[in-house]
Amino acid sequence: MQGDENILINLDFLKDSRFSNEDRQRQYSDEEFINLLMQRVRCLNCDHYFNWAVPYDSDGECWNCGTKYEVHEEENHWGSIEHGGEVVTVIDPEDRENTVRLTGQGGEGWAIADYLNYIGLDPSEFIHSYL
């Protein structure tokens, strides 16, 4: 079945145990599924997907391990200008004096980019129109 124009929808992707039980058990329309993936990022500590609607939220917390993330406003601003909106720079939860990229150029760390790879598409071709 076709989802948002060019993206094939395969809900089997949600069977991945890195999603919360709530995410895995809910029923989704195609649009809801894509929106869910756009609002999930991978935790740097445990690699589970957690809910964070960047750029609307300035902080987030992993449901699995409790690691808390906070956008570093200045670094994130410059990173977005230099590399695009898919790059999110946060204060390093292990060393608050430093910053780290929660998500990288090309969408690394976003569930939507992982999904596009899963269905055999290059995330860089789609990422800017979805994030």
Kindly tell me if the per-residue pLDDT of 56 is higher than 90: no
In order, the DSSP letters of 64-87 are TT--EEEB-HHHHHHHHHHH-TT-
Distances (CA, A) of 48 to 23, 31, 32, 35, 85: 12, 22, 20, 17, 21
Q: Hey, is 117 helix, strand or coil? A: helix
Note the pLDDT of residue 1.
33
Please tell me the total count of domains within the chain. Answer: 1
Domain that holds residue 23: 11-130
Kindly tell me if the per-residue pLDDT of 19 is higher than 60: yes
**What tokens does 43 get?**
């935790």
**What tokens does 50 get?**
């957690």
More confident residue, 48 or 1: 48
- Hey, which residues does 40 pair with through a beta bridge? 51
Asked if residue 89 is part of any domain, the answer here is yes
Asked if residue 4 is part of any domain, the answer here is no
Asked if residue 39 is part of any domain, the answer here is yes
| pTM of the predicted model over 0.75 | yes
Asked if residue 55 is part of any domain, the answer here is yes
